[in-house]
Structure 1
Amino acid sequence: MDTTTARAIAISGTVRDDRGQPLPGATVLIKGTQRGASTDAQGHYLLLVPRAARATLVFSSVGYATQQRRVGKDVVINVVIKPDAQALQEVVVDYGAPSRGYVAGSAAPALQGRASGLMITHAPAPLPYYRPARPEAGAGDTYAHVAENAFQAVQKEPLSTFALDVDNASYANVRRFLTEGQLPPADAVRVEEMLNYFHYDYPAPPPASPDPVRISTELAVCPWNPAHQLARIGIRARSVETSALPPANLVFLVDVSGSMQGPDRLGLVQAGLRLLVRQLRPQDRVALVAYAGAAGLVLPPTPGNQPEAILGAIDRLEAGGSTAGGAGLRLAYATARQYFQKDGNNRVILATDGDFNVGESSDAAMEQLIVNERESGVFLTVLGCGRGNLRDARMETLADKGNGNYAYLDNLAEAQRVLVAQFGGTLFTVAKDVKLQVEFNPARVAHYRLVGYENRLLAAEDFNNDRKDAGELGAGHTVTALYELVPTGAPQPLVDKLKYQPAPAPPVTMQQFITNDVLTVKLRYKQPQGANSQLLVQVLNGTAAPVAQASADFRFAAAVAQFGLLLRQSPQAGAATWAATAALAAGARGPDADGYRAELVRLVGLAQGLGGAGALGVR
């Protein structure tokens, strides 16, 4: 049988306009399906195409004539699409009024909108192709409930403590919902994971520093509540060149149960793992464990300079049966321990929809299994996929307890980003059990609220407890945390005076504190194989700058957080609007070489067009 019809094929290429310029934001769809991808800032796309020899790709963008290309035996398809004379020459999108769905290549609605003095136009980031989604896009998925953080009084709670989180599955999942024509459920939106999907240009640790991480801070007016301030804490891990990374001992643990059937599940996982195999070095080793009704070793540990053997094992995987997740995890960890690299990177890469139904089926039992296994020094990366029965909460738990990270693969481009572009950050840990503790100066801050990280909160005493598990940082990772601050003198949250409590303490005098300090950030981390933590300290002081004068990274992070608040229909969203969110993000895109920031601006437009304005009233 021709292999192009037996399995999905990764098709890539570049979309350009008639002047030869790359066209970002163009949509590439598989004809007759809802599956597709958008081009990045260089006009590049990457798409997993089932039954490729018989498939046709549809290339489109607002204001351009749609073009179709038959795939056949090609794996690289470059196209040039020309302006459509019948389409509008310019599209101005009003993010503040209800919009209508449109099909690229047809006359789009001419709408006008302004926010903060910025007009958002078609160029340089056209909205992606939109069609009505399948109604089952999110039906059956399960998420852990997120109860948003409330404001805390500094006089009562001067410390805020939490574990770092580098997971970014929520953003990719939110993107999946929006591009398929649905607003995501509120609990699918975890603001910290949306923030940490993006890379920020924070200062890196100096080459001579013994610490693999560095803290930076910034303070500006809060965009969604100008009476408040927004403090940004940025963490950056040291980057390591791929050639200098320690040897990898990887075990691919692939769910091949019946729920994994389909090109967006097992087919997508196989394509992603094929991309990863091409990054391996001779000193790296890969094993493959598959589990359905039972678990089995499909490929014993094999050197990275034998890619044909590894790729052949990946290609032989087929879905069917029930899901023995516990047995699969045990076998994968046992295989990793058998070939453990003392000074290397030992990791299980679990690819699944999380629908375990044989063996340890409860979250508590699976969590305990992972907690026991992580003591061996083998870390865990979880790759989620699929829709309709996605067990998001379970996969996040496994990754958190396994000293690893959790990513959601909504398309092949995301698999390439996670497993190729971020090879080091995804698979190579430079610091583990990373915790933050922030102390607020009551002379400057009356109340504070941590934006996101609800499921990563720790008790104050956990910060100095080296036995307490926390988050991991991979090579080159950046992590962002935002605090919304109510400064002293600003209107305070309305709470009645207490009848049975003593009178509040007298106001803090300016002489009692270093009044220039706003807060102090303390960070603890361990070396990947270490048992004792190291302490870093950074002070944030000075006055809050106007938002317009804040750094591009600050403004973009604030826009991402504001987008998350709107998607969650958060009561803390204040004066946030879709228009202001899009304007803030568009004005802070910066170089945006990979096009991810431009994509966020387009997703804001989709969210409004999919009913966000109606759901949020005037927002």
Structure 2
Amino acid sequence: MQIQLISLATMLAVLCLACNQGAESSYDKQEVQLITLNESVQSLKQKETNRASVGDTTKENPLNTEDYDNIVENNFLAATQNPLSTFSIDVDEASYSNIRRFINEGSIPPPGAVRIEEMINYFDYDYAAPVTGEPFAVYTEISTCPWNAKHQLIHIGLKGKELPVNNLPSSNLVFLIDVSGSMDEPNKLPLVQQSLKLLTGQLREKDKVAIVVYAGNAGLVLPSTAGDNKMKIKEAIDALQAGGSTAGGEGIQLAYKIARENFIPNGNNRIILATDGDFNVGMSSDDELVRLIEKERQSGVFLSVLGFGMGNYKDGKMQQLAGKGNGNHSYIDNLNEARKVLVSEFGSTLFTIAKDVKLQVEFNPAKVQSYRLIGYENRLLAAEDFNDDAKDAGELGSGHTVTALYEIIPMGVRDEFTRPVDSLKYTSYEKMNHNNKDEVMTIKLRYKEPGGDTSKLMVHLVKDSKTPLESSSDNFRFSAAVAEFGLLLRNSKFKQDAQYSQVLSLASSAKGKDINNYREEFIQLVNASTSIAKK
């Protein structure tokens, strides 16, 4: 018989019925381990009904309660006063697919949903793989800034080494699935089930998966199971149904417990949380959850977050959970996106090759008057954090590319963005060393091995190549097009002369091979946004 995992109460009732009728279940009683409470089945049912009346508002109350953090855009900074720019890499892609959902529904996304660095990093770029023993290679390019011809744009790209799938380390995965009432929508739990079955198809014999669910309570519905036992894993996924309130904190705690119990030394130990982020029972505040995950990540178990649905999507919460859990955040708006994240990008999504990756850029004030990091607002670090190995930063997956852009105002160009301050007495421009005036900046990177605690340093010098925009690479022009699109969607105060027509021109000229048609889809989105913006 099929077990319907609506809640702890329903699970217990079904098990009792199965025992009384002598029916055979797909799961042995020893295989279903639940966090038990000393309450009767009837009282649990009544409590679950009461919780559902509060927690499941998606059908009766269509009020949009989606939540996005406010983004305060990075300002231009004078290189004489602030020569150092430090930030953590970001490999999340959630913002782009979420923006796509808004545009396909005929609306411009809220500014807080537009994280330009995630839009840029949604796309792959044609960077050569590292040839040395380093986990990634660094590439830079400088050309004219498309939305202000007097400014320059600096493109920084990282390319992670790609591990063949057969050589990827063994995985100990825990699928942590939200089965609360808010997930009872076609684009939520049913899409979660389809997505995780796609991932199950990628598993090998040496991998293993456990499944934890949570609604009013949390429970283990599939003990750690070998990856080649795909039928059993998929049956467990298919059995899930939604109902009740959302005890997300309790689910996270149980998932970490199961992951620790099945820990694989030197393996990929990871929780994959699938949810709309609407936690409303027990530990639910951002602060509580962040402190829990900061503590749990010390075990070596990483946390990746897959976001689903609309109407009550908690984007800000999921960003924090993935960031603090040494994982990544993706938004799954359709099955094609699930296939991209969990099949096409299987290695980069789930297998970390370098952790706590930080960049620190030192600008040469002899060449750069002021600069602005485009995006990465929630990834900024203090200058002293760069050398602090206790400071958390982003993770880089197998074959991942990471791209960052700086807009700079060269020396001699009128600066309309930075406010003047008094000259410094001890480190004035006149007293600085001008021997390296051909260098625009120096990039330093720090990273740790996936299981390491001590960082390693890489240094990369950047000189001005004076490359015209029309002669720049496809990588440069396409990333610039995506950034310009983000400035327009946010109605950024830094958009200057940005135009949808220019975005289309840049992107169309830089499509490259576009094997999966992701860049063509981007062009279609820009066209759709142009029409929406005219309304």
TM-score normalised per structure 2: 0.87
- Tell me how far apart the structure 2 counterparts of residues 502 and 423 of structure 1 sit (CA, whole Å): 51
2:193 maps to which residue? 270
Q: Cα offset for 1:202? A: 1.1
Report the CA distance between 1:510 and its aligned residue.
Answer: 9.6
Give distance in 2, aligned partners of 1:256 and 1:225. 49
What is the aligned partner in structure 1 of residue 307 from structure 2? 384
Mapped to 2, the partners of 1:279 and 1:294 lie a distance apart of 30
| Counterpart among 276, 283, 287 of residue 210 in structure 2 | 287
Q: CA deviation at 1:244?
A: 0.6
Question: For 1:482, which of 368, 390, 405 is the aligned residue?
Answer: 405
Find the aligned partners of 1:145 and 1:553 in 2 and give their Cα distance: 29
Aligned counterparts of 1:506 and 1:530: Cα–Cα separation in 2: 40
Equivalent residue, structure 1, for 2:474 = 552
Alignment match, 1:574: 496
User: Distance in 2 between the 1:505 and 1:280 partners?
Assistant: 57
Q: Distance in 2 between matches of 1:192 and 1:541?
A: 24
2:68 is aligned with what amino acid?
A: Y
Supply the distance in 2 between the matched residues of 1:605 and 1:199 (Cα, whole angstroms): 21
Q: C-alpha displacement at 1:495, in angstroms?
A: 5.8
Matched, 1:441 2:364: yes
Deviation at 1:295, TM superposition (A): 0.4
| Deviation for aligned residue 1:171 | 0.0
Match in the other structure for 2:336: 413
* Contact in 2 for aligned 1:444/1:517 (Cα 8 Å): yes
- Aligned residue for 2:436? 514
By how many angstroms is 1:360 displaced? 1.2
Q: Which of residues 605, 610, 614 in structure 1 aligns to 2:527?
A: 605
How much has 1:339 moved relative to structure 2? 0.7
Matches within 5 A, 1:213-252: 213-252=136-175
Shift in alpha-carbon separation, 1:297–1:507, aligned structure 2, 3 A: closer
What does 1:316-331 align with in structure 2 at a 5 Å threshold? 316-331=239-254
Q: How does 1:30-429 map to 2 (within 5 A)?
A: 139-206=64-131, 209-429=132-352
Decide which of 451, 456, 462 is 1:529's aligned counterpart. 451
Aligned-pair CA distance for 1:545:
1.2
Q: Which amino acid aligns with 1:328?
A: G
- 1:147 maps to amino acid: V
In 2, the alpha carbon distance for the partners of 1:419 and 1:176 equals 19
RMSD over equivalenced CA pairs, Å = 1.9
Q: Which secondary structure does the structure 2 equivalent of 1:512 belong to? A: coil
Residues 370-395 of structure 1, C-alpha deviations (whole Å, 9 max, x = no match): 00000000001100001000000000
CA distance in 2 between counterparts of 1:335 and 1:288 reads 9
Q: Which of 588, 602, 614 is the aligned partner of 2:510?
A: 588
- Superimposed CA distance per residue, residues 568-601 of structure 1 (whole angstroms, 9 cap, x where no aligned partner): 0001111110001011001100010000000111
1:203 positional shift: 2.2
Matches within 5 A, 1:450-461: 450-461=373-384
Q: Match of 1:105? A: none
Counterpart CA distance in 2 for 1:233 and 1:363 is 32
State the distance in 2 between where 1:138 and 1:356 align.
Answer: 17
Report 1 or 2 for greater relative contact order, CA contacts < 8 Å, sequence distance ≥ 6.
Answer: 2
Alpha-carbon shift at residue 557 of structure 1 (Å): 0.3
Q: C-alpha distance in 2, partners of 1:266/1:180?
A: 20
- In structure 2, relative to structure 1, the CA distance for the partners of 1:613 and 1:505 (3 Å cut) is farther
| One-letter amino acid matched to 2:118 | E
CA gap of 1:549–1:436, structure 2 versus 1, over 3 A, is same
Cα distance, 1:509 vs. partner? 8.1
Give, in whole Å, the separation in 2 of the partners of 1:506 and 1:409. Answer: 51
| Residues 495/322 of structure 1: CA separation in 2 closer, same or farther (3 Å cut) | closer
Gap regions ≥5 residues in structure 2:
2-60
Q: Using the alignment, how far apart are the partners of 1:584 and 1:459 within structure 2?
A: 34
1:504 shift after superposition: 10
1:425–1:320 CA distance, 2 compared to 1 (3 A): same
Check the 8 A contact 1:137/1:387 in 2, yes or no. Answer: no
Alpha-carbon offset, residue 505 of structure 1? 6.9
Is this contact kept in 2: 1:137–1:177, CA < 8 A?
no
Structure 1 residue 508: Cα displacement: 4.2
Residue-pair matches, total:
477
Asked whether the equivalents of residues 130 and 137 of structure 2 are also in contact (C-alpha less than 8 Å), the reply is: yes
Partners of 1:497 and 1:140 lie apart in 2 by: 42
Indicate if the aligned counterparts of 2:80 and 2:428 stay in contact, CA closer than 8 A: no
- Measured after TM superposition, the shift of residue 530 of structure 1 is 0.2
Aligned CA distance change for structure 1 residues 218 and 285 (closer, same or farther; 3 Å): same
Give the 3-state SS of the residue equivalent to 1:227 in structure 2. strand
1:432 and 2:362 are equivalent in the alignment:
no
1:157-216 alpha-carbon deviations (Å, 9 max, x no partner): 00000000000100000000001111100110000000000000112111xx32111111
Instruction: Spell out, residue by residue over 1:6-52, the C-alpha distance to the aligned partner (whole angstroms, 9 max, x if none).
Output: xxxxxxxxxxxxxxxxxxxxxxxxxxxxxxxxxxxxxxxxxxxxxxx
TM superposition shift of 1:550: 0.4
Counterparts of 1:186 and 1:508, CA distance in 2? 41
Q: Answer yes or no: is the 8 Å Cα contact 1:323–1:356 preserved in 2.
A: yes
Q: Is the Cα–Cα contact under 8 Å of residues 435 and 523 in structure 1 kept in the other structure? A: yes
Change (3 A) 1:293 1:510: closer
Kept after mapping to 2: 8 A contact 1:443/1:508: no
Match of 1:68 in 2: none
Cα distance in 2 between the residues matched to 1:137 and 1:146: 26
Aligned letter for 1:144? D
CA contact (8 A) 2:76 2:418 kept: no
Q: Distance in 1 between matches of 2:337 and 2:237?
A: 19
Distance in 2, Cα, partners of 1:502 & 1:343: 51
- Tell me the CA shift for residue 263 of structure 1: 1.4
1:543 is displaced (CA, Å) by: 3.2
State the distance in 2 between where 1:511 and 1:562 align.
Answer: 35
Q: Under a length normalisation based on structure 1, what TM-score does the superposition of the two structures give?
A: 0.75
| Other structure's SS at 1:327 match | helix
Aligned to 2:6: none
- 1:495/1:401 CA distance change after superposition, 3 Å: closer
Whole-angstrom distance in 2 between the partners of 1:235 and 1:542: 19
Could you tell me whether the CA contact under 8 Å between 2:370 and 2:418 is conserved in 1?
no
Report SS of the residue matched to 1:447.
strand
Letter matched to residue 320 of structure 1: G
Q: Distance in 2 between matches of 1:473 and 1:355?
A: 28
2:485 aligns to what SS in structure 1?
helix
- State the one-letter code of the partner of 2:101: R
Equivalent residue, structure 2, for 1:19: none
How big is the shift at 1:139?
2.8
Structure 1 distance, partners of 2:275, 2:249, is 13
Structure 2 residue aligned with 1:29? none
Q: d(CA) in 2 for partners of 1:177 and 1:491?
A: 38
Question: Is the alpha carbon distance of 1:148 and 1:408 closer, same or farther for their aligned partners in structure 2, counting shifts above 3 Å?
Answer: same
